[in-house]
Structure 1
Amino acid sequence: MKTSLPVIAATGIVAGLLWAAAPSFAAEQAVKAPAPALVEPVTGHRETAIFAGGCFWGVAGVFNHVKGVVGTTSGYTGGKASTAQYEDVATGTTGHAESVKVVFDPTKVNYADLLRIYFSVVADPTLVNRQGPDHGPQYRSALFPQSPGQAKVAQAYIAQLTAAHVYAAPIATKLETAPGFFPAEGYHQDFMARNPDYPYIVINDRPKVEALKRIFPQSWKA
């Protein structure tokens, strides 16, 4: 999917040709999931959630355009601190998933709303250990609830989507627990905003942001 920033700059044209030749799954996967039946009670103005759904560039890029989201941090979740760097995670052997920590104001957007957006435009929840052109357990679809309330809401929503047969295949997204979240290298942070014309972003992630704006206009922020 990606390498260190100097290599990205040196190989951008070749990568662009390869990604342009590959099919884009972002537009096809967008589906407006139903509103969650269970919503977590609001207890304050700051809450944190962690989502894994393929390359963290796109996950962060979508959530940064959601009203009520205060900020995002790309990182690694599921493995040890000693292997929380891109070169190790990219091997697919660390237990880590590329993930995004989302800080949000639940008085403006609640966790259930974020789940709805996640299952609609961020990730294809029916895929196992892959998203779009990226393959491996580090690109798995997973939720890391940060409280018992989040876990309850997430479990209920997956059950709701399953019962409604929203997708043609079973939902593969898992709820996982992890000892910590480890921020990724600086060049991964806000990558979409800083590199809007990078070929991978254009092909795989911009369509997700456009789907958010189209399907959930009430949640969109520029």
Structure 2
Amino acid sequence: MPESPYWLAARGRQEEARQVLRELGSPDHDATFTVATERVGRPLDLLRGRLTKITVAMLLLNFAFNWGYWGLQTWLPTLLQDKGLTFDASLGFAALSALMMIPGYVSASLLTGRFGRKKVFLVYVVAAALGGLWFALADSTFELYAGNFVLSFFSLGAWGVWNTWNGEFYPTALRGTGYSWATASQLVATTVAPSAVGALLAGATGFTATMLVINAFMVVTALLAVPLPETEGRGLE
């Protein structure tokens, strides 16, 4: 991946910036960039002015979304055994679920150009939460498969949208810093979620209750996305 043309221009590397545009096929590849002169990457700037609400919502969303995903995926074979599947069958189930993630990614990428990142993300997260509810309340093997396939399809489609949308909230001077904060929030959730779900299972909470707790984080994810700005088609600063 080449460096951002804005980043290169901010460091006086105008010709390298133009070369990146040439490689991308941009009609503006002969342009001379005018860039801001402020110092780049100051972390506290993420919590100033209009960016404050975006940063807080973004960090909480990354935590909730990653918590819901890894809380489920880490313990999926164990949860399925609680529903009567053998260990081998539960691993096969998880593999089939992973296959459903591929069309989820593809469909979301095709839809964002037409409907925008925010709308597609919200629809996919809500659909994933409904699939998780179906999975949590399943009374048959068919419902287990169908609910989890819906959950896998839409949750990973939403992840594909989010990883792009998340990178577009900030101006170039802060984009790398903002995305690193997002990644840090995800890593905290990735660390906490497996242990928390394991504690629920160790406490004999049961399949349905544990799944409902996990699914609640998907609902929180959708709510946190509502105030975030749409970036589809918007020029990056």
Using structure 2 for the length normalisation, give the TM-score.
Answer: 0.29
Give 1 or 2: higher helix fraction. 2
Structure (1 or 2) with the larger CA radius of gyration: 2
Using structure 1 for the length normalisation, give the TM-score.
Answer: 0.31
Give 1 or 2: higher strand fraction. 1
